[in-house]
Structure 1
């Protein structure tokens, strides 16, 4: 969201639980990744992936696969867009806002792999830079267990 936009500080518990259900249960691929939301605010979403053997991309170094990084960043960016849309329509009941995400889809995704993805777990952060009536732009980060930036991403999503 733009710096001038007025955002609520927190979402209702029903809205948070509804978004978590969509993200962590209904999108089965996120289950494969082990992607879990840890923070859900109108201005930022934070998620976590715990390393497991199914995610290894290089067996000799136990490095996470680049596809896990890109898919995780894409999903976290999309969740940030959902949060921003939910914040924009706070006048609607939570259940009504949760139905607004049916047409959300990725238009463009860019990932810069800065360091090898080695660690016990990873944190993914996303924020919306601009939420328009048809397209949203996001910025995402993939961090190691020590908080070091391993990959950075940006994406555009169709929202209508």
Structure 2
């Protein structure tokens, strides 16, 4: 007997707006990176970084700095955890769920740089592989404007 697929979770507008405010405004370093959420779903989050002169790591090639890639993927892993936690506690009010992120932090981060980061903009994706009661494991991707995978990463986050 097959188990039916889970019913997709839809976040309330208040939760989405609150999470965007936390991620894009209250975490000021995300503003420095230019990270903007493009999709927020329990199973996957996506964002975009537009290339700017301040993000150049190699001036001869106008290549994005590896630290921007690493920090962006780390932030996306955290955002994926926030979305997964938000979906797990749908019985709570949006404001109550947003307070659950106060203790969220990176435990471990690994980034693989596969291709040079050259382009006008980049897409970042992340998903939670496992959400435990204390630790979450994530997988992240950093893609060029053409959809080509430039870097990938994995992270572990404290969630309680």
**Post-superposition CA distance 1:113-158 (Å, at most 9, x none):** 0000000000000000000000000000000000000000000000
Task: State the number of aligned residues.
Answer: 157
- Normalising by structure 1, we get a TM-score of 0.96
Q: Which residue of 2 aligns with 1:82?
A: 82
Q: Which residue of 2 aligns with 1:52?
A: 52
Decide whether the 8 Å contact of 1:7 with 1:87 is kept in 2.
no
Structure 1 unaligned residues grouped into runs of 5+: none
Q: Secondary structure at the match of 2:103?
A: coil
- Normalising by structure 2, we get a TM-score of 0.96
Decide whether the 8 Å contact of 2:9 with 2:87 is kept in 1.
no
- RMSD between aligned alpha carbons? 1.2
User: Offset at 1:27?
Assistant: 0.3
Structure 2 unaligned residues grouped into runs of 5+: none
Written as runs of structure 1 = structure 2, the 5 A alignment for 1:58-77 is 58-77=58-77
Q: Secondary structure at the match of 2:112?
A: strand
Decide whether the 8 Å contact of 1:7 with 1:42 is kept in 2.
no
Decide whether the 8 Å contact of 2:104 with 2:158 is kept in 1.
yes
User: Offset at 1:8?
Assistant: 3.8
Distance 1:65 1:134, change over 3 A: same
Written as runs of structure 1 = structure 2, the 5 A alignment for 1:141-156 is 141-156=141-156
Distance 1:110 1:35, change over 3 A: same
